[in-house]
Each structure stands twice: as structure tokens, then as C-alpha cells.
Amino acid sequence: MMGIKYLSQAHLKGFERYKYNSIDTSYLSVYIMHPLWNNCVKLLPKWLAPNIITFIGFLLTVVNFLLIAYYDWDFTAANNEENTIPSWVWSVAAINILLYYNLDGMDGKQARRTGTSGPLGELFDHGLDSYSAGLIPIYMFSLFGTDDLPPIRMFSVLWTVFLNFYLTHVEKYNTGVMFLPWAYDVTMWGVSLTMFITTLLGPSIWHYRIFFDLSMANMFEFVLIGSGIVTSHPIILKNIYMYVKVGKDI
């Protein structure tokens, strides 16, 4: 049986001309995380393949998913008066997310350090990131439960995350530049901090009403969906328009 060709000759020629080009203007990333990653990557042996770093980081997000799914497969643990997920699970999840985030920041630097940077490595990296983008919000759903965040609204949040991820790559495809969103760094630290707080104070704190009877789940939805609609999507569409239609550098 003949194999299916997923890439045409035009795609393969594009790989030969491809060059990674990204812009990162996040203060947290530029002034804190990148200097940290530049120093940490020097501790890694040069024989360690960047794709292995990428894959280990991805597996940590899978471990989190399986661990929380084991204790809360139907997102109802938070609906009980006392959440049935052990407190240590949240600490493990927080540590794994931080490890994933830092490994994701170091794999590209390891590739450039070892002279193995290329389009297939980026495809592998961003391909796995697309899965993690769906897994990580699921951890948050277990904090709120289906009473505060029904499945249809969970689904809306997931689609918002996927849309942000997808449109960023549409922007890269059309402009040739990967504009790294500020929200990524803030989200990784925010989710990890939330998990650590949950370990210390318990998940019941996320059921408090702040004002106007809005729950923490409502705030979670508002921040994720609102930030995409207000700060991400318009800028992406503007950059694509300026580059493709107007022919102006962005």
C-alpha cells in the first residue's frame, strides 16, 4: 500500500527556504525569563537533542491531565462541600507546568546552541504546544466544577484558547514573523501560582463571590475570552492586513 503524502513538493521547497523569525516584547520574557533560560541551557549536555527537551515538557502536561482526570474525571469534585482531589495533586501540577514552561523556553536555545535548529524542530515544538494549549485549561476546570463552569462554557473557553493559538500561527504564515503573545508568560505563571494557592488554602476559595455575585469561574472566563477578543485578535488581523494588503512592514 502506497503511503499518503502529507507534504507537497511546494511544501518541501518551503522548508528549504524557511527561517525562524520571532518577536517577543513581553517584559517578563525579555528581562527575566530569557536571561534565565540562556544560563540554564548551558547546564544541558550538547548531546541532548532539543526535541527530547520538547517532548519531556509535553509529557509533563500529559501527566497533569491524567493525574487530575483520575481524581476528577467528570469535573464534579469541586461541586462537593469538600473537594475530593488531594492537595498534593495541585502542587505536582504547578511544578509540572513550570517545568514545561521553562523547557519550552529552552528547547529552541538548545537547538541554536547545538546547530540543530530547523523547521521540523519548530513544527514538532509547536505541534505539541497545540495539544498542551488544550490540556492546561482543563486543570483549571477542576478548580471550579460544573456548578460554576458548565460544560458548554468550558467548551467556549477551550475554543478561545485554540483560536488564539491558531490565529498566531496564521499571522506567522502570512507575515513570516511569529509575534509571541504577552499572555503566554503571564498565563503560565498565573496557572502555576493558582495551583500553589490551591494547595495551601484549598480549592473552596475559588467559589467565593467577589462582587455583583460574580464567581471566580466568571472572572476566569472574562480574562481568557476578553483578552483574546480585545488584545490579541484585532492586532493579529491588523498585522496580516498591513503585510498582505498594504505591503507595509509591521
Distance CA 90, CA 92 (A): 5
Contact 128, 58 (CB under 8 A): yes
Distance CA 204, CA 208 (A): 8
Distances, alpha carbon 173 to alpha carbons 36, 73, 144, in Å? 29, 37, 36
Task: Please compute, for residue 196, the number of CA atoms within 13 A of its CA located in the half-sphere on the CB side.
Answer: 11
What is the end-to-end Cα distance of the chain in Å, rounded?
A: 47
Show Cβ contacts of residue 147 under 8 Å, excluding neighbours closer than 6 positions: 78, 79
Active site residue 126: yes
Distance CA 74, CA 93 (A): 18
Distances, alpha carbon 135 to alpha carbons 130, 143, 182, 207, in Å? 9, 14, 20, 22
Query: How far out from the chain centre does Cα 27 lie?
Result: 18
Among 34, 126, 169, 207, the active-site one is 126
Write out the catalytic residue numbers: 126
